[in-house]
Chains A and B, each alone.
Chain A
Amino acid sequence: MSKAAPSVPDTPQPEDASIEDRLYTVKYKDSGESHLGIEVPGICAETCTTYECTNVCPADVWRAEEGGVPTIAYENCLECGSCRFACPHGNVEWEYPTTGNGVSYKHG
Chain B
Amino acid sequence: MTATPNYDDEFDAIVVGAGLSGTAAALTMAKDGLDVVMLERGPSPGSKNVFGGVLYTPRIRELTDLSDAPKERYVAKKTYSMLSDAGDETSMSIAPAAWREEPHNDSWMVLRRDFDEWFADQAVEAGATLITETTVTDLIREDGTVVGVETDRPNGTLRAPVVVLGEGANSLVSEGAGLKRQDDRDNVAVSAKEVRKYDREKLEDRFHLDGEAGLAAHYFGDGAVGDAVGGAFLYTNKRTVSIGVVYSIEDAAHGERTPDEVLDQFKQHPAVAPLVRGGRMVEYSAHAIPEGGPDSMPDLVHDGAVIVGDAAGLVLNSGIHLEGTNMAVESGFHAGQAIADALDRGRSDAAALESYEQRLEESYVVQNLDHYGWFMDTAAEEKEFLFEELPHALGDATEEYFRMDDRPKDEHVSDAKSHILNASGGWFGMAKKAWKFRKMLS
B281 close to A17 (CB less than 8 A) = yes
- Bound: A91/B227 CA distance, A: 26
A80 close to B277 (CB less than 8 A) = no
- Bound: A12/B194 CA distance, A: 18
A56 close to B113 (CB less than 8 A) = no
Which single member of A78, A96, A108 contacts B172 (CB below 8 Å)?
A96
- Bound: A60/B262 CA distance, A: 14
- Bound: A101/B133 CA distance, A: 8
A108 close to B270 (CB less than 8 A) = no
A105 close to B113 (CB less than 8 A) = yes
B286 close to A82 (CB less than 8 A) = yes
Given known contacts A25-B284, A80-B190, A108-B50, A55 and B255 CB-to-CB distance under 8 angstroms? yes
Task: Identify the interface centre among B172, B273, B284: most chain A CB within 10 Å of its CB.
Answer: B284
B281 close to A25 (CB less than 8 A) = yes
Closest Cβ–Cβ distance, residue B13 to chain A (whole Å): 21
State whether the Cβ of A37 lies closer than 8 Å to any Cβ in chain B: no
- Bound: A29/B42 CA distance, A: 11
Among the stretches B99-107, B180-188, B365-373, the one at the interface with A is: B180-188
Closest Cβ–Cβ distance, residue A96 to chain B (whole Å): 5
State whether the Cβ of A67 lies closer than 8 Å to any Cβ in chain B: no
Which single member of B43, B195, B258 contacts A57 (CB below 8 Å)?
B258
B188 close to A13 (CB less than 8 A) = no
Among the stretches B141-149, B246-254, B314-322, B418-426, the one at the interface with A is: B246-254
Within 8 A of B (CB), among A83-108: 84-86, 88, 94-100, 102-108
- Bound: A59/B42 CA distance, A: 19
A52 close to B256 (CB less than 8 A) = no
* Bitwise interface map of B from 254 to 265 toward A, beta carbon under 8 Å scored 1, else 0: 111111101011
Chain A residues within an 8 Å CB radius of B277 = 12-15
Which single member of A10, A52, A84 contacts B182 (CB below 8 Å)?
A84
Chain A residues within an 8 Å CB radius of B268 = 5, 11, 13-14, 16
B260 close to A81 (CB less than 8 A) = no
Which single member of A16, A50, A56, A79 contacts B249 (CB below 8 Å)?
A56
Closest Cβ–Cβ distance, residue A98 to chain B (whole Å): 4
- Bound: A105/B272 CA distance, A: 25
Which single member of A25, A80, A81, A106 contacts B113 (CB below 8 Å)?
A106
Chain B residues within an 8 Å CB radius of A46 = none
State whether the Cβ of B71 lies closer than 8 Å to any Cβ in chain A: no
Which single member of A14, A58, A104 contacts B273 (CB below 8 Å)?
A14
State whether the Cβ of B152 lies closer than 8 Å to any Cβ in chain A: yes
A107 close to B249 (CB less than 8 A) = no
Given known contacts A22-B281, A85-B182, A105 and B269 CB-to-CB distance under 8 angstroms? no
State whether the Cβ of B429 lies closer than 8 Å to any Cβ in chain A: no
B255 close to A104 (CB less than 8 A) = no
* Bitwise interface map of B from 76 to 92 toward A, beta carbon under 8 Å scored 1, else 0: 00000000011100000
Known interface pairs A78-B286, A80-B191, A100-B133; 8 further A-B residue pairs with C-beta atoms within 8 A, sorted by A's residue number: A1-B222, A12-B273, A13-B273, A55-B258, A86-B252, A96-B170, A102-B48, A104-B42
24 contacts between A and B (CB under 8 A): A1-B256, A1-B265, A12-B274, A12-B277, A14-B272, A14-B273, A17-B281, A22-B281, A55-B255, A56-B190, A60-B260, A78-B286, A82-B190, A82-B286, A85-B182, A86-B249, A86-B252, A96-B170, A100-B42, A105-B283, A106-B282, A106-B283, A107-B112, A107-B113
Binding site for B on A (CB under 8 A): 1-3, 5-8, 10-17, 19, 21-23, 25-26, 29, 50, 52, 54-60, 78-82, 84-86, 88, 94-100, 102-108
